[in-house]
Amino acid sequence: MIRKMCALRVFKDENGKTNLSLQDIGGSVLLISQFTLYADCKSGNRPGFSKAGKPDMAEKPFDYIVRKFSRKRIIIYRVFSKLILR
């Protein structure tokens, strides 16, 4: 997945076509953990996060992704928060 993310041609070249990848432009990555994205909004106006993953479950995979990007010499800005709204 990291290899694919680095190689996706989503940036415009000199002709305005999306032919350039993150590596081509020397770009950087902002990684934000989103282990609390699961929200139950079925009833009421307050989302419930009781089925969301625990922070400990997300930290190892998140650190793994950071290491993989670093090996590709891509600058990483990382945000990992253990804040859970319950």
Residue-wise pLDDT for 61-73, tens only, equals: 888 888 888 888 8
The most distant pair of C-alpha atoms in the chain lies apart, rounded to whole Å, by: 50
8 vs 3, 15, 54, 69, 76, CA distance in Å?
Answer: 9, 17, 31, 14, 17
Strands (E), 1-86: 11-12, 18-20, 28-32, 75-79
Model confidence at 16, in pLDDT bands (50, 70, 90)? very high
Q: What is the mean pLDDT of residues 3-16?
A: 93
Chain centroid to CA 9 = 17
CATH of 2-79, one of 3.40.50.10090, 3.30.1490.20, 1.10.357.10, 3.50.80.10: 3.50.80.10
Catalytic residue ranges: 34-36
